[in-house]
Amino acid sequence: MTAVNVHNNESDPSDQTYVYVRDPGVGSSKHAQSAVLQQQIVLPDAFDLGPAYPNPFNPVTELRFALPEPAHVTLTVYDVMGRAVATLINQEMRAGYHQTTFEASNLPSGVYFVQLQAGVFSKTRRVVLLK
């Protein structure tokens, strides 16, 4: 078994490293080859709730949010009367970029508000369900 390090970016070899491992296997012509990519994890600078996509939607939309530090996260959907119609997330989460889906097939068409709460941070986005 042989390991070879190859840098993808010659001007910054610390950026990405590819490691190839070759296993000769059985017989002279058979071999397996695999690649492992080591990447630096980049954490967000600030809390954020991105726009829903697609929006308007029917009946599923994707929600993305960023956590610069671990936090208890609550992602709740409200109707125009301020009633909670769905709690998508209510748990401790680690720092990083996250995504989830809002599946609204059981709700009527209309305007809804998605609110992200993480620690003292709070942000709300408007989504439109069209059936």
State whether CATH 3.40.50.150 applies to domain 48-129.
no
**DSSP letter string, 58-118:** SSEEEEEEEESS-EEEEEEEEETTS-EEEEEEEEEE-SEEEEEEEE-TTS-SEEEEEEEEE
Q: What is the pLDDT of residues 2-18, one digit of tens each?
A: 344 444 444 444 444 44
For the stretch 17-50, pLDDT in tens is 444 444 444 444 444 555 566 667 789 999 999 9
One-letter amino acid at 58 equals N
Which has the closest alpha carbon to 76: 131, 128, 123, 129?
A: 123
Sign of CA dihedral 25, 26, 28, 29: negative
Give the tokens for residue 93.
């989460």
What are the structural domain ranges in the chain? 2-38, 48-129
Band of pLDDT at residue 121, cut at 50, 70 and 90: very high
